């Protein structure tokens, strides 16, 4: 019997993952870390993924996968809305809203990310008081598509319009996310993604790259009959285009599909490592909270997200 493209989809995913990872892990790190722009695209979206140490590349069935790996919504059913508020450090706020639904064999999604930094001081030199104050505004509006190609392969793609405004200057651009998930077993998933691909953006006379990230992850889903609950263990390898390799670890335990405890740990960061979180499901609603402490007197980050599934 002649094989179709879909029957060979696992081979295409392996080729993509090898290409992605060889490009990412073989890339040379610039002399200065953090040289890419649009820093708000590096901030974690969703209380659940954040509490799990952002080890979310191989997780399936969560609307916040639109941000972490668009292939994660390929097996989504029904209609779902999600909202998140993040009070970040140094008066930085981050808001996120998403919507996804199934259409025939496809899943389509829309998401909006807004970030704002207020009361930045304008100075021409080392003065006691600033001359004036100004704000910074960032936005990402994304359209996502995902599809389950067979029992083991999910693929996804997102296209994003990007905008940044600092004082009176602004920049616009386009970015893309690519991702896939391979179901090695019914309870073992392997995922890969490239986030924030795109050409350089221009801010006044200065050009800068998008904060691209190359990700490879795995997740194990289990059930503990004595404790009457389900658990997930996850691992991500993350390679930013302007920094060294990072390792993310995550765990989640859900009791009777209602109450959830989460924790995560990140390796390779100077300002943070551990994360904690809670979750509660009430009928069609899911409410999640994440807490991330920062070192060097930076303070703490709090995220709250709400999901509504129809």
Domain-wise residue ranges, the chain? 50-120+133-309
Q: What is the pLDDT of residue 270?
A: 83
User: Which residues, at least 6 apart from 77, have a Cβ–Cβ distance to it below 8 Å?
Assistant: 102
Residue 142 Cα distances to 22, 75, 134, angstroms:
27, 19, 27
Q: What is the pLDDT of residue 295?
A: 76
The pTM assigned to this predicted structure is 0.85
Stronger pLDDT, 18 or 302, i.e. the higher one: 302
Q: What is the pLDDT of residue 33?
A: 54
Element (H or E) spanning 49, and its range? helix 47-51
Q: What is the pLDDT of residue 253?
A: 96
Task: Tell me how many degrees the CA angle 29-34-38 measures, rounded to the nearest 5.
Answer: 125
Across 188-192, 222-226, 271-275, which has the greatest mean pLDDT? Answer: 188-192
pLDDT band at 6 (very low <50, low <70, confident <90, very high): very low
Does domain 50-120+133-309 sit in CATH 2.40.160.60?
yes
- Give residue-wise pLDDT tens across range 205-233: 788 889 999 999 999 999 888 778 999 99
């Amino acid at each position: 019997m002649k094989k179709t493209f879909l029957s060979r989809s696992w081979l295409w995913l392996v080729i993509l993952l090898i290409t992605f990872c060889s490009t990412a892990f073989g890339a040379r790190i610039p002399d200065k870390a953090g040289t890419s722009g649009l820093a708000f695209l590096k901030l974690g979206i969703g209380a659940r993924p954040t509490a799990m140490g952002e080890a979310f590349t191989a997780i399936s069935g969560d609307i916040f996968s639109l941000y972490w790996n668009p292939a994660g919504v390929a097996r989504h059913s029904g209609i779902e809305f999600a909202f998140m508020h993040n009070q970040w450090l140094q008066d930085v706020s981050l808001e996120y809203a998403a919507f996804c639904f199934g259409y025939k064999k496809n899943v389509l999604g829309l998401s909006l990310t807004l970030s704002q930094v207020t009361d930045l001081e304008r100075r021409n030199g080392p003065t006691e008081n600033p001359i004036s104050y100004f704000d910074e505004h960032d936005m990402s509006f994304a359209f996502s598509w995902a599809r389950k190609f067979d029992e083991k392969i999910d693929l996804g793609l997102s296209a994003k319009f990007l905008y940044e405004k600092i004082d009176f200057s602004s920049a616009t651009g386009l970015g893309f996310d690519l991702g896939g998930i391979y179901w090695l077993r019914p309870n073992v998933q392997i995922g890969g993604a490239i986030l924030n691909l795109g050409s350089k953006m221009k801010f006044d006379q200065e050009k800068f790259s998008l904060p691209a990230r190359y990700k490879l992850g795995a997740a194990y889903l289990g059930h503990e009959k004595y404790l009457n609950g389900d658990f997930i263990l996850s691992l991500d390898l993350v390679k930013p285009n302007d920094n060294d390799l990072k390792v993310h670890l995550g765990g989640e335990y859900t009791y009777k599909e209602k109450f959830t405890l989460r924790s995560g740990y990140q390796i390779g960061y100077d300002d943070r490592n551990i994360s904690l979180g809670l979750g509660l499901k009430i009928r069609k609603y899911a409410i999640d909270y994440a807490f991330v402490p920062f070192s060097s007197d930076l303070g703490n980050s709090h995220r709250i997200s709400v999901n509504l599934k129809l």
